[in-house]
Structure 1
Amino acid sequence: MKKLILLLSLAFILSCSSDSDSNETNASFIGKWTIEFEKDYTSTGTLYQTYNYSQEECYHMTTYEFKTNGQFIKDSYDFDAFNCVRNPVRTYNYTHSGNTITITANEIENLIIVENTSNDLKLKKVNPDNSFTIIEYSRVN
């Protein structure tokens, strides 16, 4: 009987620890995000350009929101000479299958989820010439 209780206790402890680990690696991309970095790579994987949006106030004010109803909302800002100017809010549709998010706008854009934790999201966009961009986001609280 003691062995059975010990085994059940061990199974419970192991199942609890694996749940917390999987929540971190399988965190939902649903929610509001702001862009931190955009990194451009050649088709061979060589980094050739990095944009640091976290240090540019107007671009860092821009948010991207994935809603549970399949809508993707982009609320963006640009800089005009002296001020941050809000652009019209854009709403698009998206679908999600496996590690791919497909956003339907003027063009269909497929983004591959590279990393998805509770606070960070990295998406990969592959270009026709096989060069690619990694876009790094942080969750907006």
Structure 2
Amino acid sequence: MKKLLLILSITLFVSCSSDDDSNENNDNSIYGTWKPYASQSYNPETDETTELTYFTDCAQNSRYTFKSNGDLIITSYSRNVDNECILRSENEVIDWRIVSEGVLYIEDSDSDFYYQVNENELRIEEIDDYNDDTNDIVIYKRI
């Protein structure tokens, strides 16, 4: 009887410890919830980057949640003409996917994006080869 309990305990422990969405808990994974933190521009021809411009406290209330099922859930805030921080959209769902290592596609955009995750920071750079010489970079912090 003790052997049976031991085997059941080990089986239960192993089956409960495996997680099908383990990528969503990985610190270097894009999966999870992020808030906008700062932005800058990058010129790939000259390898120059502008200084960081930080998002306002209101804009930093916005949330971007990348789910492993391909949903990007967006809740955004901005200031109105009276300088009040207001909710602009809540739980808007957009499809996204990883195209290749370090490249992602977001539906409703006209381009792919480079992305890099380093623990609690996500950098997304628009691959823009038709508007001007610079690529816009947005830096997000993990929530």
TM-score by length of 1: 0.70
- Counterpart Cα distance in 2 of 1:82 and 1:39: 24
The share of aligned pairs that are identical, in percent, is 21
Residue equivalent to 2:76: 76
Alignment root-mean-square deviation, CA: 1.8
User: Any stretches of 5+ residues in structure 1 without a counterpart?
Assistant: 1-22
Q: Which of the residues 110, 114, 125 maps onto 1:112?
A: 114
Amino acid of the residue matched to residue 71 of structure 2? Q
Amino acid of the residue matched to residue 69 of structure 2? N
Amino acid of the residue matched to residue 138 of structure 2? I
The 1:78–1:64 alpha-carbon spacing in structure 2 relative to 1, beyond 3 Å, is same
SS of 1:69 mapped into structure 2: coil
Q: Give the Å deviation of 1:76.
A: 0.4
**Alpha carbons 2:32, 2:65 under 8 Å: kept:** yes
Amino acid of the residue matched to residue 137 of structure 1? Y
- Counterpart Cα distance in 2 of 1:108 and 1:98: 19
Q: Deviations over 1:45-67 (max 9, x none)?
A: 323464211xx111010111101
Aligned length: 112
TM-score by length of 2: 0.69
**Alpha carbons 2:71, 2:94 under 8 Å: kept:** yes
- Counterpart Cα distance in 1 of 2:83 and 2:137: 30
Residue equivalent to 2:140: 137
Higher share of residues assigned helix? 1
User: Any stretches of 5+ residues in structure 2 without a counterpart?
Assistant: 1-25
Matches within 5 A, 1:8-87: 27-42=28-43, 43-48=45-50, 50-53=52-55, 56-80=56-80, 81-87=82-88
Q: Give the Å deviation of 1:36.
A: 1.0
